[in-house]
Amino acid sequence: MQLSQRITHITGGGSDGWDVFYKARRMIADGEAVIELTIGEHDIRTDPIILGAMDDSARGGHTGYAMVPGTQDLREAVAERIQERTVVPTTYKNILITPGGQAGLFASHVATCNAGDRALYIDPYYATYPGTIRGVGAEPVVVRTHAEDAFQPRAEDIAAEAAKGAASLLINSPNNPTGTVYSAETLEGIAAVCREHDLWLISDEVYDTQVWEGEHISPRSLQDMSERTLVVGSMSKSHAMTGSRVGWVCGPEAAIEHLVNLATHTTYGVAGFIQDAAVFALDQGPDLEEKIAEPFRRRRQIAREILAEQNTVGLIPAQGAMYLMLDVRATGLSGEDFANSLLDTHKIATMPGESFGTAAHGHVRVAMTVDDERFAKALKTLVDHAQTLAE
């Protein structure tokens, strides 16, 4: 039986640059002591106080169907958080609760793209982006950024693609995989392109609590942008709740009304006890968010100190998120060859820049997700390895 093109084409086919990752996973399964610096999973688990709230809620009976758009309490808590950060009036009617940010990304593209529409996104990109766009039947169109700009997108490059016709633009700041936090100038440029070419802006802000340098600006707060922006957020990174699958889309009321219809016909909502735990977690305020972000802030500093002592491996500023993008071009190897040789020689697993598109070739992404001591040791080994290769 034939399956639809929409589903069979989600991955795009061919090598996706994730071979090193799968090799590391096989080595671990075979009992080898691999240091895993690949994916964005905290090295801590969800805080016991959040689990306590989840347990109380479930035992208190919140195990039936929850309201499809999200519970009133969680929608209000998210709206309040967004209003505080953007100063844009935001109510529960602007919020749909989703099973994680990924579901929010998918729903946002369903909401903004017709079949065959061009949907823009920025390279390097989070691995699911092109598949998400293909999954809704739209055409993914990449806009490249450049290492020499620290991967800040250039408005003129986006405008050149938008001028050929596009329905949406997907951005992500703080950025996975580059650690770049988009500057006010970058975001103003992007907003101007969206207004001029009548684009929906889908702003993936799942790392908004992980900012080490500069300031996170949500484009929802820019002039005339709240009516054409869908912000995707999540509890995964901010509260170490990756497995709970709880996130949101924030947008104009009319868009959210339609997104609620989509949720009714797809996910049918998010577990009530998970939503209650999310309300509890948000009620803890910024202190808990800072506690969860703190290890990454610390490790970024450790990395800066190690990297400052040499000039073979370059560091893209790493202004935010739980990753470092390291430039290993001085070794003469591609990111993929470097990552393979580091894994084979030293059992340290990193992600080749090529796993995230073409713009980060000759780079590797390091997730700062092991304890400080092992992290420092792994990074020193990575630097030594690069130096040996560069000689």
**Where does this chain bind ligand PMP (CB under 6 A)?**
40, 100-102, 126, 172, 176, 204, 206, 234, 236, 242, 247
Contact between 360 and 124 (Cβ < 8 Å): yes
The 3-state secondary structure of 34-59 reads CEECCCCCCCCCCCHHHHHHHHHHHH
State the number of CA atoms in the 13 A half-sphere of 369 facing the CB: 22
Nearest to ligand PMP of 200, 356 (CB atom): 356
Instruction: Check residue 211 and report its DSSP letter.
Output: B
Instruction: Check residue 320 and report its DSSP letter.
Output: B
Q: Which of 276, 252, 226 is nearest to 111 (CA)?
A: 252
Q: Which of 14, 78, 360, 124 is nearest to 220 (CA)?
A: 78
Taking the complex as a whole, the smallest distance from the CB of residue 208 to ligand PMP amounts, in Å, to: 11
Taking the complex as a whole, the smallest distance from the CB of residue 16 to ligand PMP amounts, in Å, to: 15
Residue with tokens 């758009």: 69
Nearest to ligand PMP of 177, 362 (CB atom): 177
Nearest to ligand PMP of 104, 335 (CB atom): 104
Taking the complex as a whole, the smallest distance from the CB of residue 330 to ligand PMP amounts, in Å, to: 28
Taking the complex as a whole, the smallest distance from the CB of residue 40 to ligand PMP amounts, in Å, to: 4
Taking the complex as a whole, the smallest distance from the CB of residue 72 to ligand PMP amounts, in Å, to: 22
Contact between 108 and 202 (Cβ < 8 Å): yes
Kindly report the backbone phi and psi dihedral angles of residue 333, in degrees, each rounded to the nearest multiple of 5, phi listed first. Answer: -100, 155
Nearest to ligand PMP of 90, 242 (CB atom): 242
Tokens of 278: 């999310």
Nearest to ligand PMP of 225, 270 (CB atom): 270
Question: What residues are paired with 327 via a beta bridge?
Answer: 314, 363
β-pairing, 200-204 with 229-234? parallel
Taking the complex as a whole, the smallest distance from the CB of residue 324 to ligand PMP amounts, in Å, to: 14
Nearest to ligand PMP of 206, 217 (CB atom): 206
Residue with tokens 């055409």: 139
